[in-house]
Amino acid sequence: MLRATACSTEERDEEDEGEEELRDGGVPFYVNRGGLPMDEETWERMWRHVTRIHPGGEALAKEIRGATELPKILVPSVPTYQPTTTIPQRLEAIQKYIRELQYNHTGTQFFEIKKSRPLTALMDIAKEMTREALPIKCLEAVILAIHLTNSMPGVERFPLSFKSHFSGNHFYHIVLGVHSGGRFGALGMSRREDLMFKPLEFRTLMDLVQEFEGAYRGYWHKLRKIKIGQYVSHDPHSVEQIEWKHSILDVDKLSKEELRKELERHTRDMRLKIGKPAPPSPIKDRRNSMGSPLKGPGSPIRRISRVERR
């Protein structure tokens, strides 16, 4: 029942992340694969998991589930903007909305994110996130941030993930890197305030990465690997897949100058993608390859009668 996404601690780099064991801070967690509302089996499994991982254990679960009145939870509103709202202000509003959804501590990820799915399918999941307004984890936040920035053609987005080491365990985290007006920043979700949002003020990708690396050092984590994807299409109906790891950088084996050169190379690669047409949809490909049956070499020419024309 366990599958991996970002924030896992047991990742095999050569395999697809959808097939790895899911862990969050060293504790396994589940993914809700049955959609919403949850089916009874997933619901009960979630509560059993809560009793195992929460310090309050079974007593906490009984207290919540047995309560006759629970406080009303305010549903955050999806941000809207005036025409005069600047790009940095819009990004801050999006991050505020993501933060208001809160981090998911239940041990069950509510939305299933398959990285191999086309962009249009992932955007449908993002819309569901805004309707349900449930707590999310880091990978869900990346998909949601892509959806909320699709209407900003001046903002380029790319996945940026990290592998860190602490106390014998590896930890994984992912954010959405953003680039606009010659500056880099990031959107995302984390239990740590300085491991998600970064304002649009970093001159180079190296500066942005060093900012995250410094945050990791503050938690005694050693940054081991960085994975950077390509720019994501702004077309919510695109059938192309997100390129999650165009560049995989082994921080342990690279000097600071070598890391800088690799990040500069990746920045150039991302710029080259801008303006390239997205691959056509399979429906269009199929339509173009079929052709008219009347044009086939073995098809006889049929004269249309006056009645049929009329």
Which residues have a Cβ under 8 Å from the Cβ of 279 and sit 6 or more positions away?
A: 239, 240
Tell me if the bond preceding 37 is cis, omega within 30° of 0.
Answer: yes
266 catalytic per annotation: no
Catalytic residue among 8, 161, 190, 238: 190
138 catalytic per annotation: yes
Catalytic residue among 49, 173, 179, 221: 173
**Alpha carbon distance 224, 102 (integer Å):** 27
Integer Rg of the chain from CA: 23
190 catalytic per annotation: yes
Catalytic residue among 7, 8, 138, 180: 138
Residues that are catalytic: 138, 173, 190
